[in-house]
Structure 1
Amino acid sequence: MLNLLEIVKVFNRTSTDLNTKDLETNVIVLVHGGGFGAWCWYKTISLLEDSGFKVNAIDLTGSGIHHYDTNKISSLSEYAEPLTSYLKGLGDAEKVILVAHDLGGACVSYAMEMFPSRVAKAVFLCAAMLANGNSALDMFQKQMDTNGTLQKAQEFVYSNGKDRPPTAINIDRASLRDLLFNQSPSKDVSLASVSMRPIPFAPVLEKLVLTAENYGSVRRFYVETTEDNTIPLPLQQSMCGANPPEKVLRLKGADHAPFFSKPQALHKTLVEIATMPHVRAS
């Protein structure tokens, strides 16, 4: 009977019985990927709040309802400014858990380098978890070299003229389901099709400067998605091999939008990471 009670106790860790006040932090900040916005986290926000967490989903510059022309974004710092401004505004003793999706991984890495003392943990959800000196383009180039799906779906925007570098990337609407949402419900695909905005090109090009003292001092976790056609599992594993996190977790059956395709499993995984204590070296 005791074993059964223990099983029930573990099962209920993601329920409203979880005492998030005992954690290092109960504040989770969700950072969307390229083309997405805070809107994509609607299921995750609800589930986390029901479990007692305080949740903030951020619209990066030119994303979601943020009123700025994506084509005018000229740097990663400009793209990530809503996130870095949020962290800058925290009190000295305040910490948060950052959760990054896709290109949001580059923004979160940049923020970890700037404000390491304000990030308790960083979770990379099928995200660009880049090593020092690498860019998101370096990662996506590996994908395009091995699979033409991403390359065919991309439509470059040249708002400064065809003789100048691209300013943004659009994803062909006809390719959305196959590329991003191959396991997601139709209603969420419909939501994305009317909500997604162009992806700024400059942040994709920018190489990150990450130090062991700042970025390296933050606990990192990677969450793999097994049915991902945008950042396929082997590419995710390659990033983890080149820049190892503290722990790698896996969402089976999840596509590149696990907040749509596997919301309950994602929620359980985020709670597991949030409640994971430090493992002291013996």
Structure 2
Amino acid sequence: MEEKQQRHFVLVHGACLGAWSWYKLQPLLKAAGHYVTVLDLSASCIDPRSLDELCTFPDYTLPLFKVMESIPPDEKVVLIGHSLGGLNLAFAMEKYPEKISLAVFLGATMPDTIHRPSYVLEKYLARTPAENFSDTQFAPFGRPEDHLQSILFGPQYISSRIYQLSPAEDVALAISLVRPASLFMQDLSNRSPFSNKRFGFVKRAYIITGKDKAISPEFQHWEIKNTGVTIVKEIEDADHMAMISKPHTLCQYLLDIAK
């Protein structure tokens, strides 16, 4: 009988969310015999930092960097990034490509190696009507010279565009735990493209969230075509929060992809 290989999954949440958003998926992966790490990015959920303390996307990504630094030299992890977490994955892929066996983008923003890191967000914002953001709040923060803007999902946006197929209890949980985040557009627009030798070296997979009203399936297909991906799967009946609305299907997809 073939011995099952234990893998280490590192789950990276999206904007305004936190490690809590993986609470359904984490035990499923553990029950399948794998090791799982979840984390709060800077100024997210119970992370003690304030958004005002952050100026750059790497500042925001620091907790993921610390996890990657703790990985032994002889171990590789499977990174999973949701929504804006795809960009956190990209920074980790650029910094620690030798420690990553696979990067999975789940309904996520996925940059390329041609354009500056802000390009994928610029395209997303250009294709998304302003009214889609509903009661989401945008506000300046930090020093004026840094041109920083925060984003805070409102209850209507959460219930109608992110969790529209998720249980009501999870919608209530999300509304109670949401914290402001930032896209750090100014910082990302001033950075060089991710490299083919490092970011491009890591094998990539993309899981499309088929009923997504936050990052449309059409835009996800555009990202896949723009960047190039080794493996593509789709959860046809998942909203933006596939780990909440379809955790068992997502778990099986991740186990299949990781093989």
TM-score by length of 2: 0.91
Deviation at 1:48, TM superposition (A): 0.3
**1:171 match:** 153
Among 74, 80, 85, the alignment partner of 1:99 is: 80
Superposed CA offset, 1:132-190 (max 9, x none): 3131531431332xx34433343112234889834311112222111101111101101
Given the superposition, is the C-alpha separation of residues 204 and 266 from structure 1 closer, same or farther in structure 2, using an over 3 Å criterion? farther
> Where does structure 2 lack aligned partners over 5 or more consecutive residues?
none
Given the superposition, is the C-alpha separation of residues 163 and 85 from structure 1 closer, same or farther in structure 2, using an over 3 Å criterion? closer
Larger radius of gyration: 1
**1:265 match:** 249
Q: Which amino acid in structure 2 is aligned with residue 94 of structure 1?
A: E
Task: Answer whether contact 1:137 1:204 (CA < 8 A) is retained.
Answer: no
**Partner secondary structure for residue 158 of structure 1:** strand
Q: Distance in 2 between matches of 1:151 and 1:204?
A: 20
**1:88 match:** 69
Q: Distance in 2 between matches of 1:164 and 1:97?
A: 34
Deviation at 1:19, TM superposition (A): 5.1
Task: Answer whether contact 2:55 2:146 (CA < 8 A) is retained.
Answer: no
> Where does structure 1 lack aligned partners over 5 or more consecutive residues?
1-16, 276-282
Q: Percent identity?
A: 28
**Partner secondary structure for residue 166 of structure 2:** coil
Does 2:214 correspond to 1:233?
no
Given the superposition, is the C-alpha separation of residues 123 and 34 from structure 1 closer, same or farther in structure 2, using an over 3 Å criterion? same
The 5 A counterparts of 1:104-119 are: 104-119=85-100
Task: Answer whether contact 2:136 2:157 (CA < 8 A) is retained.
Answer: no
**Partner secondary structure for residue 206 of structure 1:** helix
**1:195 match:** 177
Does 2:42 correspond to 1:58?
no
Among 120, 134, 137, the alignment partner of 1:155 is: 137
Q: Distance in 2 between matches of 1:83 and 1:160?
A: 23
Q: Which amino acid in structure 2 is aligned with residue 43 of structure 1?
A: K
Given the superposition, is the C-alpha separation of residues 32 and 174 from structure 1 closer, same or farther in structure 2, using an over 3 Å criterion? same
Superposed CA offset, 1:183-241 (max 9, x none): 11101101101111111242685146311111111110000011101100000000000
**1:3 match:** none
**1:5 match:** none
Superposed CA offset, 1:79-126 (max 9, x none): 111111111122111110000001110010010000000000000000
Among 166, 180, 183, the alignment partner of 2:162 is: 180
TM-score by length of 1: 0.84
Q: Which amino acid in structure 2 is aligned with residue 42 of structure 1?
A: Y
Q: How many residues align structurally?
A: 254
**2:202 match:** 218
Q: Distance in 2 between matches of 1:140 and 1:210?
A: 18
Q: Distance in 1 between matches of 2:138 and 2:68?
A: 32
Q: Which amino acid in structure 2 is aligned with residue 240 of structure 1?
A: I
